[in-house]
Structure 1
Amino acid sequence: MRIKVHCQNRVGILRDILELLVAYGVNVSGGEVGGEHGDAIYLRCPNLINLQFQALVPKFETVAGVFGVKRVGLMPSERRHMELNALLGALEFPVLSIDMGGSIVAANRAAAQLLGVRVDEVPGIPLSRYAEDFDLPQLVRANRSRINGLRVKVKGDIFLADIAPLQSEHEDSEAMAGAVLTLHRADRVGEHIYNVRKQELRGFDSIFQSSRVMAAVVREARRMAPLDAPLLIEGETGTGKELLARACHLASPRGQSPMMALNCAGFSESMAETELFGYGPGAFEGARAEGKLGLLELTSGGTLFLDGVAEMSARLQAKLLRYLQEGCFRRVGSDEEVYLDVRIICATQVDLSELCARGEFRQDLYHRLNVLSLHIPPLRECLDGLAPLVEHFVDQASRQIGCALPRLTPDAMARLSQYHWPGNVRQLENVLFQAVSLCDGKWVKPEHIRLPDYGVRQPLGDFSLEGGLDDMVGRFEKAVLEQLYAAHPSSRLLGKRLGVSHTTVANKLNQYGIGQRQ
């Protein structure tokens, strides 16, 4: 058990507290002084049980200068350690702490993967075992200042290294404790710069609003963003639900606080529960001895984004509902109530009301989440704003690839306009990146735009039998040409596919308005 004693900062108060615990046979295995003004003492008491603690509470209050005592889940140093581990673990690039003997002291998960060892095996390994011709301690002693972009070879691959010395307030090199080494793959620096540039536009400014429908959604979102209530965002895959959620967070009073995201569909029930709510010390076999903070605690005061909330298990639904109702929860394997202030924004690809009607989602939770709601339309309903969006993605792709800015031919633009876009804006961005990488000149042509046929509606799926035979044959002919034109975007290619002359196909395409510039 861990306890916090709120007390006066006076000489001898710790001795008086310890004497009381000794009198009751309570062992103290660790302690820390904390609080804003050193007015709290934290003690780790392994053999202290709850009944004994309840009996000791009034005894504590008889000690001069003690104002109160309560149980806590973590010591301050344990919490800092867990937060640091969580932050380092979230970084996608390798980070290592090196001492002045050239040995690795600590590393994040990305660094351990690079070295091919477990994180717990890292301490004590010499950096020279993996880095060629790189004496980091000597470099730190010689420079005594931060170094950025130094080329180093680690396990045969070239990295650009940022080196931050760990130095005490003394200026002599002997006082240096080592350095923190951050590695960036040289072949991905361009991508890193592109991603940084991509984040320059933040909030609602980063959402393209060239379509009238999408502009209306953003206007609604701007009005809802400052309201401190749960928000439910509905939309198909690839429509930008997380982007809209982040924009709402940044435009809210919580915008300067953290925002964390969890994909509910990407974890098993037990893993999702520990990721979201964390777990107490020694909660289960294989758990960390100090426990783990969940995303809710790491997001305290900010916004938590739950993607794919429809995939949440019944157990997690009940636990999330309790938090929304009472503002508190319990970590896995702990009976301590944790009270937090976090705004919840959820996203779903499916209609939650239908799941409620089928008994697959809690109706009370649905009403708690659906206080505010936004629906992002699919790309096929926003084609009036397609041209500026295409121009934007082509410009981004050319910057990332490092090539001249190409333009789309009218036929290529028509090909994009006639596609059904099951992957929406994300698919459009990926298709255009591939097209820019394939084109070898100033023009993106139809053959550079590779679109899969999955999800294409079959021509007879909702075929009308109204009118005479000529009307029905005409409608069928148009449907066939529309579907095949996506894969054969010229009259010659389509004529060869159908076994007729390109003149016949060109006349038919002109008759039905297929392939004409929008």
Structure 2
Amino acid sequence: MRLKLTCQNRIGILRDILALFADYGLNVLRGEVGGEANNTIYLHVPNMLRMQLSTLKPALEEISGVFKVIRVSLMPTERRHLELNALLSSLSDPVMSIDMDGRVVAANRAAGKLLGVRIDEVPGLALTRHIQDVDLPDLIRRNNARVNGLRLRVGDETFLADIAPLHTENEDVASLAGAVVTLHRADRLGSRIYQVQRTEVRGFEAIFQASRQLSAVVKEARRMAPLDAPLLIEGETGTGKELLARACHLASPRGQAPFMALNCAGLPESMAETELFGYAPGAFEGARPEGKLGLLELTSGGTIFLDEVGEMSPRMQVKLLRFLQDGGFRRVGSDEETFLDVRVICATQQDLPALCSEGRFRHDLFHRLNVLSVQIPPLRECLDGLEELARHFLERAVRQIGARVRDISPEAMARLRGYHWPGNVRQLENVLFQAVSLCDGEVIEAVHLRLTGEAREDGLESIDLAGSLGDIHDEVERRVLARLYPDFPSSRLLARRLGVSHTTIANKLKRHGIGQE
């Protein structure tokens, strides 16, 4: 158990507090002093029971200078350690801290993988085993300043290293304690520069609005962005739901606070719960001794984006509903309440009202999430902006690949217009990137476009024509529905795609046994 004591900063107060714990036969494993005026004492008493706390708390508050005693989930250094670990783990580049003997003090997972060791084996590892052409401690002493772009060989790979020296007090050589080394793969430098270019344009300006319909959606989202209420974004896969969510976050009063995203699809319930809500120290076998902060706590004051919220398990739906109601939740393995101020933006490509009617999604949660809502149209409904969007993606691919392609032929553009785009804008970007990589000339031709499913053969030659016209019609109808259902996996989405009523499609799917599994 961890306690926080707000108290007077006087001589002997810690001795009086610890003496009381000794009288009760309780061992204080660790203590920290904090607060702006050193007026807060944190104590870790691992063997203390809740019943003992109820007895000990009044006695502690009777000590002269002790004003308040409360239970907390983490010590300050434990919280800083968790936040640092979370930050390092989010970096894809290898990052390590070294001392002035050239030994690794700490590293992230990417660095451990590069060095071929587990994270717990990193401390004390000598870098001379992996970097032999440069004496890093000597380099740090000689420069005593930040070094950027130093070419290093680590094993069989070449990296560009950024080295930031660490000082204990002054910035002289005598106070050097080591350095933080960040490694960038030299062969990926071009793509890294391109990624920086891609993220220069942020917010709503990053959303291409050539289509009148999409422009109207962005205008609607701009009005909703500053409102501090849950937002539900609906749209098919590849329409840019996360991009719109980020834009709404940046345009809100929370724009300078963190934005975190969690895809709820495909995650086991236990993993989704610990990712979102975190877990307490020693919550389960294999858990970190210090526990783990969830995305909600890392997003405090900012915005959490939950993609594919329709895939949430019933247990997760209950915990999310509770958080939306009063801002409180419990970490896995903890009975302590944590309260946070976080805006929730959700996205789904499923028909949530239909899931509610089927009992797979909570009605009360749907109404909590649907305070504000926006529907992103599929690409096939925005063809008035297709040509301009295609040329935009063409220019982007040309910059990244370094090709000499300049244009798209009319025949290729006609194929793009005639395609049904099940993957929407993301698929269009990928198709044009591939076309640029395949093209040897300066113009993208129709032959360079790889459009999935465009040329599938399900014609009359594969249909039994021996039956009646009604039988033949039913077979053709069944094949059409079976082909489209994976791209539009609900009766409402499929009905919208085919331009008929939801009831008609629901009856036909049931009759043909499509989607029943």
TM (normalized to structure 1)?
Answer: 0.86
* Deviates further, 144-153 or 131-140: 131-140
Matched, 1:110 2:110: yes
- Structure 1 gaps of 5+ residues are 461-475, 477-518
Shift of 1:101: 1.1
Matched, 1:428 2:454: no
CA contact (8 A) 1:420 1:456 kept: no
Cα pair distance change 1:143/1:266, threshold 3 Å: farther
Q: What residue is the counterpart of 2:237 in the other structure?
A: 237
Q: What residue is the counterpart of 2:52 in the other structure?
A: 52
Shift of 1:451: 1.1
Q: What residue is the counterpart of 1:385 in the other structure?
A: 385
1:3 aligned counterpart, secondary structure: strand
Shift of 1:179: 1.0
Shift of 1:435: 1.1
CA contact (8 A) 1:406 1:436 kept: no
Shift of 1:458: 6.7
Shift of 1:134: 2.0
Q: What percentage of residue pairs aligned between the two structures are identical?
A: 67
Shift of 1:391: 1.4
Q: For residues 459 and 302 of structure 1, what CA distance do their matches in structure 2 show? A: 53
Deviation by residue 1:185-242 (Cα, 9 ceiling, x = unmatched): 1111111111111111111000011101100110110011111111111111110000
Q: Amino acid of the residue matched to residue 389 of structure 2?
A: L
CA contact (8 A) 2:96 2:181 kept: yes
Q: Amino acid of the residue matched to residue 351 of structure 2?
A: D
Deviation by residue 1:432-474 (Cα, 9 ceiling, x = unmatched): 11111222222111111111116979789xxxxxxxxxxxxxx
Cα pair distance change 1:94/1:319, threshold 3 Å: same
CA contact (8 A) 2:405 2:441 kept: no
* Deviates further, 440-449 or 354-363: 440-449
Matched, 1:306 2:309: no
Q: Amino acid of the residue matched to residue 68 of structure 1?
A: K
CA contact (8 A) 1:226 1:251 kept: yes
Q: For residues 167 and 441 of structure 1, what CA distance do their matches in structure 2 show? A: 55
Matched, 1:451 2:468: no
Q: Amino acid of the residue matched to residue 262 of structure 1?
A: L
1:199 aligned counterpart, secondary structure: helix
Matched, 1:221 2:221: yes
Q: For residues 270 and 318 of structure 2, what CA distance do their matches in structure 1 show? A: 14
Q: For residues 295 and 171 of structure 1, what CA distance do their matches in structure 2 show? A: 36
* Deviates further, 334-343 or 439-448: 439-448
Q: What residue is the counterpart of 1:295 in the other structure?
A: 295
CA contact (8 A) 2:232 2:369 kept: yes
Q: What residue is the counterpart of 2:18 in the other structure?
A: 18
Matched, 1:442 2:419: no
Q: For residues 120 and 454 of structure 2, what CA distance do their matches in structure 1 show? A: 45
Alignment of structure 1 residues 77-156 onto 2, 5 Å: 77-156=77-156
Q: For residues 457 and 245 of structure 2, what CA distance do their matches in structure 1 show? A: 31
Q: For residues 403 and 242 of structure 1, what CA distance do their matches in structure 2 show? A: 29
Aligned residues: 461
Shift of 1:404: 3.3
- Structure 2 gaps of 5+ residues are 461-475, 477-517
Shift of 1:168: 2.4
Shift of 1:266: 3.6
1:22 aligned counterpart, secondary structure: helix
Q: For residues 328 and 270 of structure 2, what CA distance do their matches in structure 1 show? A: 19
CA contact (8 A) 1:132 1:152 kept: no
Deviation by residue 1:145-203 (Cα, 9 ceiling, x = unmatched): 11111111112111111111112223442421111111111111111111111111111
Q: For residues 287 and 127 of structure 1, what CA distance do their matches in structure 2 show? A: 29
Shift of 1:22: 1.9
Q: Amino acid of the residue matched to residue 205 of structure 2?
A: D
TM (normalized to structure 2)?
Answer: 0.87
Cα pair distance change 1:424/1:459, threshold 3 Å: farther
Q: For residues 309 and 457 of structure 2, what CA distance do their matches in structure 1 show? A: 28
Q: What residue is the counterpart of 1:415 in the other structure?
A: 415
CA contact (8 A) 2:239 2:379 kept: yes
Matched, 1:273 2:273: yes
Cα pair distance change 1:260/1:61, threshold 3 Å: same
